[in-house]
Structure 1
Amino acid sequence: MELTAAPHRSRTVGRDADGMAVASFILGLLGLLVLNVFLGPIAIVLAAAALWRGTTRRGRAYLGLGLGVADLLVLVALMQLDNTVSWSF
């Protein structure tokens, strides 16, 4: 007996992982400008989940991961410059 649900499910999971990789990249890039305290960790989690699920867009997932980390580093640097727990322009 041949199961037809498995190939359909793997295509859906792959597409979901690809979407997570792209979302991670976009949120990480956006997080450099605004709301990096929220968008940075979300980008990191999405990139890790996309890589764990075996995305075909590994480059975008790694960029999202790097940008998420950069978001947090920018936050820490700006907090140190202001000598506060938060930062603003």
Structure 2
Amino acid sequence: MAGTRTTQSTNNGMAIASLVLGIIGLFVFPIVLGPIALILGFLAHRSSPSGLAKAGIVLGAIDTILGIIFIATGGFGLIG
């Protein structure tokens, strides 16, 4: 039982980390934090599917897309 609880806690921790990074990535460094949130979300979801992991995956994808758009447009006129 102790091994199962530790695994569940680790997966829940990865899901929470994915969610937090996805939220922070909306405001800072989306091109860096987005893929990290995606990876953590997929790992957590593969082990034990949860809403937190799904939310982290969605936010990570949004962050990544926003980061790519930000780079492609030259920072929305904020850079150079």
Distance in 2, Cα, partners of 1:68 & 1:46:
9
1:79 is matched with 71
What are the within-5 Å matches in structure 2 for residues 2-21 of structure 1? 7-21=1-15
Dislocated runs of 4+, deviation >2 Å: none
Does the 8 Å contact 2:14/2:44 carry over to 1?
yes
Q: Which residue identity is paired with 1:78?
A: F
Match of 1:3 in 2: none
Task: Provide the C-alpha distance between the structure 1 equivalents of 2:58 and 2:39, rounded to a whole number of angstroms.
Answer: 11
Q: In the alignment, what sits opposite 2:59?
A: 67
With the length of structure 1 as denominator, give the TM-score of the two structures. 0.78
Which blocks of at least 5 consecutive residues in structure 2 are unaligned? none
2:73 match: secondary structure: helix
- Identical aligned residues as a percent: 32
What value does the CA root-mean-square deviation take over the aligned residues? 1.5
Q: CA deviation at 1:24?
A: 0.4
* SS state at 2:48 partner: coil
Say which is worse superposed, 9-18 or 33-42, in terms of deviation. Answer: 33-42
Equivalent-residue separation in structure 1 for 2:13 and 2:26 (angstroms): 20
TM score, norm. by length of structure 2: 0.86
The structure having more radius of gyration, on CA atoms, is 1
